[in-house]
Amino acid sequence: MLGSGLIKGLAVTAKNFVGSFHDPERLVTLEYPEQPAKVAENYRNFPFLVSESADDPMGTLRCVACQICEKECPPQCIYIEKSKAKKPDANGKLQLFPAVFDIDISVCMSCQICVEVCPFDAIKMDQHFEIAESDRFNALLLRREQLAKPNSYFHQIHPTEAAQVDAMLAEAARKAAAAAAAKAAAPKPAASAPAPAAGSTRLAAAQSPAARPAPPAAAPRTEPAPPPSNPA
């Protein structure tokens, strides 16, 4: 029948319109910004630095300033300066840390390569997208204090990945503790006599009776022949 498709489409629209009053799943629009937009778990925009504690983000950064991400970033928008001295990380191990860690997010292209190459799971992709600023040069150059966010935030935005990372780090810590305990329990080798110097080895060998050449065998002693007697 001519126009049946139109009537069917209008029926679907009317069904969703009425249904949206009692079923929130049928709502396709949001009253943004009063109503925050919910993004998918895999959504990403710019990187942030993971810290172990929300109370001391600068003291518990996972980053050890190895600078791999800085080298690998395609548009070179990461800038890092290593600390001169080490300080204890969240596990009490002495580590270097980034004295300066800046990311120019006006240049960042959200490729996530910095995350992929980080050996310490110290940098992850954020989902915060309300970053509009009027100052392009200063406001979009994020310092380490702005980049640091706690692991609890990572769990909030990427729960699946954060749980996997926690499990991996716990397993690595367990293996390291087991290896340290095995090393401490291993018997120490007995103290050996100091090795002689190279020159003295040859000297000692030369002085050894076994090494000395045997003296030549003594020739058999012969009695001198008697003088010839005079003929009578």
Stretch that binds ligand SF4, among 16-24, 29-37, 76-84, 149-157 (CB under 6 A): 76-84
Taking the complex as a whole, the smallest distance from the CB of residue 173 to ligand SF4 amounts, in Å, to 17
Neighbours of 94 (CB within 10 A): 9
Q: Which of residues 48, 60, 64, 102 is near ligand SF4 by CB under 6 A? A: 64
**Nearest to residue 79, comparing CAs of 102, 47, 105?**
102
Q: Using CA atoms, how far apart are residues 130 and 134, in angstroms rounded to an integer?
A: 13
Element holding 150 (H helix, E strand): strand 148-150
Q: Which of residues 60, 122, 142, 148 is near ligand SF4 by CB under 6 A? A: 122
77 binding ligand SF4? (CB under 6 A): yes
142 binding ligand SF4? (CB under 6 A): no
Q: Which of residues 181-200 bind ligand SF4 (CB under 6 A)?
A: none
Taking the complex as a whole, the smallest distance from the CB of residue 189 to ligand SF4 amounts, in Å, to 37
Separation of CA 34 from chain center: 40
Q: Using CA atoms, how far apart are residues 20 and 44, in angstroms rounded to an integer?
A: 29
Q: Which of residues 79, 106, 120, 169 is near ligand SF4 by CB under 6 A? A: 120
Taking the complex as a whole, the smallest distance from the CB of residue 37 to ligand SF4 amounts, in Å, to 21
Q: Which of residues 51, 57, 78, 153 is near ligand SF4 by CB under 6 A? A: 78
Q: Using CA atoms, how far apart are residues 120 and 128, in angstroms rounded to an integer?
A: 22
**Nearest to residue 122, comparing CAs of 159, 160, 169, 81?**
169
Q: Using CA atoms, how far apart are residues 69 and 112, in angstroms rounded to an integer?
A: 10
Q: Which of residues 9, 19, 36, 75 is near ligand SF4 by CB under 6 A? A: 75
65 binding ligand SF4? (CB under 6 A): yes
Contact 171, 79 (CB under 8 A): no
Taking the complex as a whole, the smallest distance from the CB of residue 71 to ligand SF4 amounts, in Å, to 9
Taking the complex as a whole, the smallest distance from the CB of residue 111 to ligand SF4 amounts, in Å, to 4
Taking residues 143 to 182 in sequence order and writing x for each that binds ligand SF4 by CB under 6 A, - otherwise, the string is ----------------------------------------
Q: How distant, in Å, are the alpha carbons of 37, 84, 180, 201 from that of 90?
A: 34, 19, 18, 53
Contact 126, 47 (CB under 8 A): yes
Binding site for ligand SF4 (CB under 6 A): 47, 63-69, 73-75, 77-78, 80, 103, 108-114, 118, 120, 122-123
